[in-house]
Amino acid sequence: MRGPHNIWRLIRTGATFERTGAMKLALEAMEAPAALRLAARIVGWPFKWLGYRGDPNLPPVTRALTALGPAYIKFGQVLSTRPDVVGEELSEQLRVLQDKLPPFPTPVAKTTFAAELGQSVESLFSEFSDSVAAASIAQVHRARLTATGEEVAVKILRPGIERAFRRDIDAFHFAAGLIEFLSPASRRLRPSDVVSHFESVVMGELDLRLESSAASEFAANTEKDAGFQVPEPVWHLSSRRVMTLGWAEGIPLGDVAAIRAAGHDCVAISERVLQLFLSHALRDGYFHADMHQGNMKVAENGDIIAYDFGIMGAIDEYTRRVYAEILIGFIRRDYRRVAEVHFEAGYVPRDRDIGEFSRALRAVGEPIFGMDANQISMARLLAYLFEVTERFGMETRTELILLQRTMVVVEGVARSLNANINMWQVARPIVERYIKENVGPPALFRDLARTARVLGRFGPRLPQIAEAMLVRQSEAPEPARRRSRRGTLALVVLGAAIGGGAVAAITLI
C-alpha cells in the first residue's frame, strides 16, 4: 500500500510538528541552517491546522512524536541519548519516550494475557501491579508467581500496535522512494534499503516469542561477563503478545543522581557500558541493539542489568573482523590501514585514491585524540563523515546500520554518566584483545580447520561432482572446453592447497 495516499501522512507529520511548536525547537536544537528553518516554517505553516494536537501537558517535541505514533517514538528514543546533537534540554524532554508513556488500562492487559495463555492473571499471580513502565510498543507489569513467590516482569503488547507500526513504516517507504526519485544522488545511501532493514527489526520486536528467545540466548552468551546481568525468560508464561521474565531490581541508568547517591562509581559504569557492548558485538556477534537508559538498571551490587530484548543485532564473523580492524586503526591512528581495510572489504570503490581517502579519515579521527568527549561536536563530526562518504562513493551498508546506530546510543548513554569519557581509550583493550585472538595466524588455522570439516561432509559427493564437470566439459564447444579445463585445473589446485593447509591446521590444533 505504498501509494500516494502516504503523502497525506507526511503532510500531517510536518503539520503536527508545526502545530505543537516542535518544528522551531527541533531545528534550532539541531543547529539547522537559517535558510532551512525559514523554509520549513513557510511550508509547514499553511498546513498547521491539519496536525495532531497531542498531549498539551508534554513538551513540544515529545508531544509531536507521541501524537504521530510508535515509529516516530522510536526515533525520539535514539535522539534522547544524544545531548551533543539535540542539546541537553531537548534530550531530557525526550527521555520520557523511553518508558514513561501513557499506559493502556490494566484490565485490557489482563484480557490480553488470558487470551494469549488461556489462563487468567488471578490464577497464576498472587500480585499483579498496574503498569510500571510504558513504552512505544508494550508496557510492563510487576507480578509475583503464586507457585514459587518469584517476582517477575510481565510485558504485554499495546492493543493494535501491529497495525499502527505497519502504517508508519508504509509512509517511511513512500518517503524513501520519493527522496530517491527527487534526488538521484541520495540513492548511494540506499534509503529504501535502510527503511526495509528498520522494518525487519521492528516487526521482529512485535513478536514477543522472538524476544524471549533473544533474552535466553543473550543470557547464555554473557553469563560469565563480570558486572552484567540478564533476566531469564519464564517460557511457559510467554507467547506472541506476552512475555514473562525475571524481575530486574535496580536504579534506572537514566537516574544519574540516584546512582551517585547510592555510592556507585559513574565513571566505572560508563566505561563498562561501552566495553560490554563492544565485547558482545565483537566476541559474540550478537548484541543488545536498544541500549538506551530506559533498558538498563544498576543493581545494588553495582552490576548493570539489561532488559527489553526486542531489538538485537547480529553480524557475521568476517564483518566483525573488518569492523575490529577499522576500530583498531583509528585507535592507533593508522589511517592508511583503515583506508586499506575499507578497500579490501569493498566498502569504497577501487577506482578511488586510497591515499586521499586515508587523509580524509585522518581529518575525521585526529580531532578525537587528546580531547575530552564534551569538547567534540558529534553533530559536526557526523556531518563531515557524511561528506567524506559522499565524496568517495561509499554506499550505506544495511548490515551495519544497527551496529552503527547502537554505537551512537551507547556512547550517548556512557556520556550521560561521564561527560569526559573518551570512547577510543575505553574501547582499546576490548578491540586489541579481539584482534589478538581473531586476526592473524590463530584465526587462519581455525578457518582452515573449519574448511576441512566442510570438505569432509561433501567428500562422498566429490566423485559425482567431478564426473558431472567432465561430462559438461566434453559436450561443450572447443572454446568453452578450454575455459572449462582451465577452471577445473584451478579448482583442483585450490582444493589441494586448502586441503593441505587444513590438514596442517588440524594437526597443529
Q: Which residues pair with 251 in a beta bridge?
A: 298
- C-alpha atoms less than 13 angstroms from C-alpha of 491 in its C-beta half-sphere: 11
Q: Do 372 and 420 touch, CB atoms closer than 8 A?
A: yes
Which residue matches cell numbers 484480557? 111
Q: How far is CA 379 from CA 86, 193, 351, 398, 420, in A?
A: 9, 24, 30, 22, 17
Q: Could you give phi then psi for residue 144, rounded to 5 degrees?
A: -130, 125
Per annotation, catalytic residue among 207, 290, 303, 372: 290
Spatial CB neighbours of 47, under 8 Å, sequence gap ≥ 6: 11, 14, 15, 18
| 304-306 vs 228-229, strand pairing mode | parallel
| 251-252 vs 242-246, strand pairing mode | unpaired
Instruction: Return the SS3 of 242.
Output: strand
Which residue matches cell numbers 527541533? 26
The DSSP output letter for 233 is B
Burial of 92 (C-beta count, 10 Å sphere; 0-12/13-18/19+): middle
Burial of 340 (C-beta count, 10 Å sphere; 0-12/13-18/19+): middle
290 is annotated as an active-site residue:
yes
Q: Which residues pair with 169 in a beta bridge?
A: none
Distance CA 390, CA 384 (A): 10
Spatial CB neighbours of 351, under 8 Å, sequence gap ≥ 6: none
Rg, Å, the chain Cα set:
26
Catalytic positions, written as ranges: 290
